Amino acid sequence: MQLKWVWLFVIMLLLAGCQPSYWVLEKDRIGEGSPDLELYATYLQMHDDVKGYQVFTISEGRKMVIVSLGSSEKDKKLEVSDVKFSPKETIVTVKRKPAPKVNEKNPYILIGLDKIAGDFIVQDETGNRFEETDYQQ
């Protein structure tokens, strides 16, 4: 009987390991991802009206998405609410929260994704979509 529970646990671990995942990169570690990330973060602070997202390829084909709010929401910060992966689409949902202190002209978040499959959508919790920025890498 106990062996059956052990196998069930092992199978659950294997299945959990097969799912694509995401992570949030701390801003003080931005240089670890790619030099392009750091350049874009600087660009966002110099062009504080830029609102939207930009996708970068980082190590081993993984993706890093930078979502920015623009200066009109500089008193906010972003958090990941949900990430859904399917063969047809990848949906990243973010939520705005009050920032404890305003330290950025253009608030942004760095979201790492193991992969992007199908259509890529970045939205807030009410379903409003962010557009891809026109930044030239």
Say what the pLDDT of residue 14 is.
54
Per-residue pLDDT of 106-116, as tens digits, reads 999 999 999 99
Give the number of other CB atoms < 10 A from CB of residue 70.
18
The DSSP element (H or E) to which 3 belongs, if any, is helix 2-18
Domain ranges of the chain: 21-124
Residue by residue, pLDDT tens for the chain (137 residues) are 666 665 655 565 555 555 669 999 999 998 876 889 999 999 999 999 999 999 999 988 899 999 999 999 989 999 999 999 999 999 999 999 998 887 789 999 999 999 999 999 999 999 999 999 998 86
Whole-prediction pTM value? 0.83
Closest CA to 24 of 69, 73, 83, 70: 83
- The number of beta carbons lying within 10 Å of the beta carbon of residue 19 is 8
